[in-house]
Amino acid sequence: MIDHCYDYAEAAHGAGRPIVGIMCEFTPREIILAAGGVPVCLCGGSAATIPAAEQHLPANLCPLIKSTFGYHVTGKNPFLNWADLVVAETTCDGKKKMFELMGASKPMYVLELPQKAEAPDALEHWVLELRKFQQHLATRYATDITEAKLIQAIQLMNRERSLRRQLADLMTLETPPLTGRQLLDFKSIISGVEADLQQYEHALERYGGTSGSAQTPNHVSRFTNHVSPVRVLLTGVPLAHGAERVLELIENVGAVVVCMENCTGLKPILEDVDLDSESDPIRAIAKKYYHLPCSVMTPNPRRFQSLRALAAKFRPQCVIELVWQACLTYDVESWQVRKLAEEELRVPYLKITTDYSPSDSVRITARVEALFETGRAKAG
């Protein structure tokens, strides 16, 4: 997927289409597409760029922020180098302040995201922010972002979300045909690419409705010889490309991550832009994105509603929460997730706090194995 994205972005850049970097799932890709831009996710998942970032940023900061910024200072991310503009939001404090540093040498547009998810005034503010963003892109790229273009982009993104949801639904099967790691490989860093959507359709034809074995040859451990893989719901922070280590560690000890609730999984694709109940495309886009249950929202009840629904659908035997080091919002909210898992869903819960360094992999593996043993003892 990344090689394909490289070719696609390089060709688009060469043809004069603006590459627009995005840093978060709150960014409305539809408006960028309607402006003729190519929305590319720039979140860093590599430990290699972190030392360069730490020349400017505190060491005790989320690795996703440091890695992303490290790519900026080292110039090692071609997508970021091609980006004509980076769009960011006021989400967590670390990101907000990093954007100021990045904005000193890269064109940057910051959307002000209100954080009271249930407040009607806050939604109105977000609608206004998106209208200003629409105007900014229209001026910058000397184009009209018409209602027709917005509707076309909405339909494209709704189709993409629907196909990805259908792929994720394969994991509801008793023996899913994919591992969670394989499913994650279907996630593109570029949105709205017709060739990707066709690949999703091929994958659905190939795997659809067929139970299979999610165990690949690399995926066998002493725990999988005689027992079924443990079904895991993974929640918490996103797994940027290159930062899939914890997912791999979990699946290497006899599990299948049947549901990833985070921003690289189901969270951003559970809801479509609804043009049936809202005819103004910008308002419809604003509502969809504003419903994203990120921990930067306060309070954040939609995340718990979503977790309940996903648990009913995917039938996990345990919940694992990943928190990147120094990610305060997910860390604090984890207390409520633990309560939900243990008291309501009645499944074991484990929080893993880590960064991009593999130094604690053995410790994480041991904790995951212990969790699975507890789950099996409870079930058996």
Q: What is the rounded radius of gyration, in angstroms, for the C-alpha atoms of the chain?
A: 20
292 is a site residue for ligand SF4 (CB under 6 A)? yes
348 is a site residue for ligand SF4 (CB under 6 A)? no
Residues ≥6 apart with Cβ < 8 Å to 23: 41, 42, 43, 68, 86, 87, 88, 89, 95, 99
303 is a site residue for ligand SF4 (CB under 6 A)? no
Q: Which stretch binds ligand SF4 (CB under 6 A): 19-27, 162-170, 200-208, 270-278?
A: 19-27
12 is a site residue for ligand SF4 (CB under 6 A)? no
Q: Which of 32, 3, 45 is nearest to 264 (CA)?
A: 45
Residue from 171, 296, 320, 352 in contact with ligand SF4 (CB under 6 A) = 296
Residue from 62, 153, 270, 273 in contact with ligand SF4 (CB under 6 A) = 62
327 is a site residue for ligand SF4 (CB under 6 A)? yes
Nearer to ligand SF4, 102 or 327 (CB): 327
How far is it, in rounded angstroms, from Cα 1 to Cα 4? 5
Q: Which of 152, 148, 203 is nearest to 177 (CA)?
A: 203
Q: Which stretch binds ligand SF4 (CB under 6 A): 59-67, 124-132, 281-289, 359-367?
A: 59-67
Residue ranges in 205-264 that form contacts with ligand SF4 under rule CB under 6 A: 237-238, 263
Residue from 69, 207, 324, 356 in contact with ligand SF4 (CB under 6 A) = 324
Q: Which stretch binds ligand SF4 (CB under 6 A): 46-54, 222-230, 249-257, 288-296?
A: 288-296
94 is a site residue for ligand SF4 (CB under 6 A)? yes
322 is a site residue for ligand SF4 (CB under 6 A)? no
Taking the complex as a whole, the smallest distance from the CB of residue 218 to ligand SF4 amounts, in Å, to 27
Nearer to ligand SF4, 12 or 92 (CB): 92
CB environment 51-80: b (16+ within 10 A), e (fewer): ebbeeebeeebbbbbbbbbbbbbeeebbbb
Question: What element of type H or E holds 238?
Answer: none
Contact (CB, 8 A) for 64 and 43: yes
Taking the complex as a whole, the smallest distance from the CB of residue 48 to ligand SF4 amounts, in Å, to 18
How far is it, in rounded angstroms, from Cα 66 to Cα 45? 9
Residue from 52, 294, 368, 371 in contact with ligand SF4 (CB under 6 A) = 294
Contact (CB, 8 A) for 113 and 5: no
Taking the complex as a whole, the smallest distance from the CB of residue 303 to ligand SF4 amounts, in Å, to 10
Nearer to ligand SF4, 42 or 253 (CB): 42
Taking the complex as a whole, the smallest distance from the CB of residue 324 to ligand SF4 amounts, in Å, to 5
Taking the complex as a whole, the smallest distance from the CB of residue 177 to ligand SF4 amounts, in Å, to 27
Crossing angle of helices 194-207/147-169, nearest 10°? 30
**# chain residues binding ligand SF4, by CB under 6 A:** 20
What sign results for the dihedral spanned by CA atoms 216, 347, 241, 306?
positive
Residue ranges in 73-92 that form contacts with ligand SF4 under rule CB under 6 A: 91-92
Q: Which of 281, 280, 330 is nearest to 303 (CA)?
A: 330
Amino acid identity at 252? N
Q: Angle 260-265-271 (CA atoms, 0-180°, nearest 5)?
A: 115
Contact (CB, 8 A) for 264 and 164: no
Residues that bind ligand SF4 (CB under 6 A): 24-26, 62, 64-65, 91-92, 94-95, 237-238, 263, 292, 294, 296, 324, 327, 329-330
